[in-house]
Amino acid sequence: MSQNMGKIMKQAQKMQERMLRMQEELAAKTVEATSGGGMITAVVNGKYELVSLKIEREVVDPEDIEMLQDLIVAAVNEGVRKSQEMAQEEMAKVTGGLNIPGLI
């Protein structure tokens, strides 16, 4: 019985090491999302952090700041959504598809 427990603990430790390595790798990966037909581009990393934001000059209208704000929010939100999908896909590779609460 203790031999089985030792195996389980070893497997859990290996999985934890793989998950930590995957989290480090995700921090280096990015996804890109756009809005306004490509006028706003948001780049988000695997830690759900906004890495860069590009705004095309043509979309900046001092008379319509609300539209610009909406486009920025849309691009960033889409980037975060894509980043979450990427993280879930990568973690599924490590966990064998098990949904372990609190990992992502």
In order of their start, the domains of the chain are 2-95 (3.30.1310.10)
Alpha-carbon distance of 62 to 15, in angstroms, equals: 52
Q: What is the pTM of this model?
A: 0.76
Query: What phi, psi does 36 have (nearest 5°)?
Result: 65, 35
Per-residue pLDDT of the chain (104 residues; tens, 9 = 90+): 578 888 888 888 888 888 888 888 888 999 999 999 999 999 999 999 999 999 999 999 999 999 999 999 999 999 999 999 998 888 888 777 666 555 55
| Whether 52 contacts 83, CB under 8 Å | no
